[in-house]
Amino acid sequence: MAEQRRAATIALLARFESAETLLAALTALRRDGHRRIEAFSPYPVEGVAEALGFRSRGVALAALLLTLGVVTAGYFMQWYSAVIAYPYVVGGKPLHGWPAFVPVVVALGLLAAVLGAVIAMVVGNRLPQPYHPAFEAESFLRASDDAFFLLLPPDDDSDEARRRLSERLYTLQACEIEEVPRC
């Protein structure tokens, strides 16, 4: 018995025909108490991330923080080089002529915001990640085409739990279920 209570070593990958059935199934499974669900779709489906209880604040925050840091550093660099390190009077203008420092700060700030957003997306998503257990499933090739998937582990390693979950998935209109190793 003790062996059967072990945490699941496999997960079930269920394919759905449409975004609506995916969302309905996801909401129902969440209500059943499943928390370790991953959903896949070939295009962003509205409401799925919310149904998973996920909100992406990190991307905007990373972009903002990087921008603030780079803008400050960029202005400091110009001030330091023009006033302290290499004071050089051009046309009688003040050494600390801030309006002339603005274009470079703006360019650097915009670049920082872009880099911040992209890096936060890539790092937050743990990319690059060449292997994922879902890739073991033949049907998953369609995840980048026209099919929608849910990936979740059964309660434990027993055949009973596995069967219970797959029956539940079929009642939620899953078209096909494959077993993959658990991530």
Partner 1 sequence: MTPRHRSLLPAGLTHANLTRRISDLVLHRPSPPGWWIALVICSLLTLMLLVTMSVLFSHGVGIFGLNIPVAWGLPIVNTIWWIGIAHAGTLISAVLLLTRQPWRASINRFAEAMAMFAIVCAGMYPLLHLGRPELFYYLLPYPDTMDLWPQWRSPLVWDFFAITMYLLFTALFLYMSLLPDLATLRDRATRRVGQYGYAILALGWRGSATHWARYEKATLILAALATPIVVTVTGIISLDLSVSIVPGYHFTIFPPYFVAGALFSGFSTVALLAVLLRSLFGLRDLVTDTHLDYLGRMMLFFGLIVAYAYTQEMFTAWYSGEDYYRHVYVDRWTGPYAPAWWSMIVCNVVLVQLLWFRRVRRHGPAMLCLALTSNLGMWLERFQIVFTSTHADYQPANWDVNWPTVWDWAAYLGSLGLFGLLLLLFVRLMPLISMHDMRALIARQREERDDG
120 near partner 1, judged by CB under 8 A: yes
For partner 1, the binding residues in 39-98 under the rule CB under 8 A are: 39-45, 48-49, 52, 54-56, 58-60, 63, 77-78, 81-82, 85-86, 88, 90, 93, 97
Taking CA atoms, 20 is separated from 47, 55, 176, in Å, by 10, 20, 16
Query: Which helix H or strand E contains 48, and what residues bound it?
Result: helix 48-51
Torsion angle of C-alpha atoms 27, 31, 33, 38, degrees rounded to 10: 0
CA 50 to CA 42: how far, in whole Å?
17
Among 25, 66, 143, 152, binds partner 1 (CB under 8 A): 143
Among 1, 31, 92, 130, binds partner 1 (CB under 8 A): 130
106 near partner 1, judged by CB under 8 A: yes
Binding residues for partner 1, total number by CB under 8 A: 63
Q: Given the complex with partner 1, which of 2 and 86 has the nearer CB atom?
A: 86
Q: Given the complex with partner 1, which of 143 and 157 has the nearer CB atom?
A: 143
180 near partner 1, judged by CB under 8 A: no
Q: Given the complex with partner 1, which of 157 and 169 has the nearer CB atom?
A: 169
Q: Are 29 and 37 in contact (CB under 8 A)?
A: yes
Please choose, from the candidates 34, 31, 14, 53, the residue with its C-alpha nearest in 3D space to the C-alpha of residue 142.
Answer: 14
- Quick one: DSSP state of residue 53? T
Residue 179: both structure tokens together: 């077993």
CA 98 to CA 8: how far, in whole Å?
62
Please give the residue ranges that form the binding site for partner 1 (CB under 8 A): 19, 38-45, 48-49, 52, 54-56, 58-60, 63, 77-78, 81-82, 85-86, 88, 90, 93, 97, 100-101, 103-104, 106-108, 110-111, 113-115, 117-118, 120-122, 124-125, 127-132, 134-135, 140-146
